[in-house]
Amino acid sequence: MATVINTAMVTIAAQDKKRMENPVLHPKSDATQRERSAESLLAQLFEKAGWDVQRPPHRDGFRPDLLVRRRGIAYAVEVKAGPEGRSDRLVPLFAQAVL
């Protein structure tokens, strides 16, 4: 559980950094746009860390946003983006989703 929350926190921090570098990106943008932006950013983070990242096509039904693999380890990643980057508001929502 701690690993998943730490991963979420890394993603939040990376999004905040991207906003600082690109002030045109507004935090209250369209939900789909936020998810795609977060998905691209997370894919870049995995690739820089040496993971093989695949983006399966989105279809009806469940398809993960990313498939990441490295040395016999594979994860299916579903990206969700909150309307704001404040971790004190996102962590309880994440905890509720896990339960």
The token duo for 92 is 């309880």
Among candidate residues 76, 18, 74, the one with its CA nearest the CA of residue 44: 18
Q: Which residues, 6 or more positions from 98, have their beta carbon under 8 angstroms from its beta carbon?
A: 1, 4
Question: What is the distance between the alpha carbons of residues 86 and 39, in angstroms, rounded to a whole number?
Answer: 18
Range of the domain at 31: 2-98
Q: State the total domains in the chain.
A: 1
Question: What is the distance between the alpha carbons of residues 81 and 28, in angstroms, rounded to a whole number?
Answer: 11
pTM of this structure: 0.57
Mean pLDDT in runs of 10 for the chain (99 residues)? 51 56 57 82 93 83 86 88 74 80
pLDDT of residue 23: 53
